[in-house]
Amino acid sequence: MPSATAKVAIVTGAGSGIGRAVSLALLRTGWSVALAGRRAEPLAETAALAGEAAARALPHPTNVADPASVSALFEATRVRFGRLDLLFNNAGTGAPPVPLEELSVEHWRRVVDINLTGAFLCTQAAFRLMKDQDPRGGRIVNNGSISAHVPRPRSVAYTATKHAITGLTRSTSLDGRAHDIACGQIDIGNAGTEMTRAMSQGVMQADGSVAAEPVMDVAAVADAVLYMAGLPLEANVQFMTVMATKMPFIGRG
């Protein structure tokens, strides 16, 4: 059991990309972290990359779209670490980049289930734990994406869920006040991960052309989340955008 001053986090989507980078940054700065993701092997790899800090990691395979699986994650975190100070709602997926009228309902529902319902279920579980712990309260950071502001072509499901995450963030901030729970959103653009590898080869632009886009080191995202997480609960970053400086976002379209 960590000391009373130790900080505890849950990171969803911790097996790769942004989730892995943020998990490692938290572990390396003294946090204990429950690593949540669909598959056990990538979570174990994330823990191993933390070196000696892996002793403070709890890999826990989780389907964020399943209420029972989410409940098991939060209960395992409570049993292992005793409390929860930070939830980073990061798990997400996209749908095939097809014309809007060709997107299947099955693909739509899968994106909504993971990106939106999953974030809601984890937020709900975090509230239950944070409001009853001593000292009470904590922080929730939602990964909104710059798609919470403007879409890419052929991304209706992903974009709709990321716009909805902004509503979840605002409602969580309001409802959390009574329980000392702060909530903010980080909107990320073109962080260098496996998912953005295609950016350097060229991706569809708003005018239908294909162009390569700049990316940034994912470490910049981890640093930003660490800053948000490190604030005292009486202060909050409500919204932050961190993006590759030269990506076509400002003026997109």
Tokens matching residue 137: 């309260």
> Does position 36 have pLDDT exceeding 90, yes or no?
yes
> Does position 250 have pLDDT exceeding 90, yes or no?
no
pLDDT-based confidence at residue 206 (cuts at 50, 70, 90): confident
**Alpha carbon distance 21, 3 (integer Å):** 25
Output the pLDDT for position 1: 37
**Residue 158: active-site member:** yes
pLDDT-based confidence at residue 200 (cuts at 50, 70, 90): confident
pLDDT in tens, 43-95: 999 999 999 999 999 999 999 999 999 999 999 999 999 999 999 999 999 99
Average of per-residue pLDDT values in the chain: 94
pLDDT in tens, 117-155: 999 999 999 999 999 999 999 999 999 999 999 999 999
CB 9 within 8 A of CB 58: no
pTM of the predicted structure, to 2 decimals: 0.94
Regarding predicted confidence, which is higher, 40 or 213? 40
CB 114 within 8 A of CB 93: yes
The amino acid present at 229, given as its one-letter code, is A
Identify each DSSP E strand in 19-144 by its residue range: 32-37, 57-61, 86-89, 138-143
Q: CB-based contacts of 186: which residues, under 8 Å, 6+ apart?
A: 141, 142, 143, 144, 221, 224, 225, 228, 237, 239, 240, 241, 242
Output the pLDDT for position 3: 41
DSSP the chain: ---TT--EEEEETTTSHHHHHHHHHHHHTT-EEEEEES-HHHHHHHHHHTGGGGGGEEEEE--TT-HHHHHHHHHHHHHHHS---EEEE----------GGG--HHHHHHHIIIIIIHHHHHHHHHHHHHTTSSS--EEEEEE--GGGTSPPTT-HHHHHHHHHHHHHHHHHHHHHGGGTEEEEEEEEE-EESGGGGGGGT-EE-TTS-EE----EETHHHHHHHHHHHHS-TT----EEEEE-TTSTTTT--
Output the pLDDT for position 199: 81
> Does position 220 have pLDDT exceeding 70, yes or no?
yes
Distance of CA 163 to the CA centre of its chain: 14
Residue corresponding to tokens 């890419």: 152
In the set 158, 191, 203, 229, the catalytic residue is 158
Report the CATH superfamily, name and number, of domain 8-243. NAD(P)-binding Rossmann-like Domain (3.40.50.720)
**Alpha carbon distance 17, 193 (integer Å):** 5
pLDDT-based confidence at residue 194 (cuts at 50, 70, 90): confident
pLDDT-based confidence at residue 253 (cuts at 50, 70, 90): low
3-state SS class at 44: helix
Query: What percent of the chain has pLDDT above 90?
Result: 86
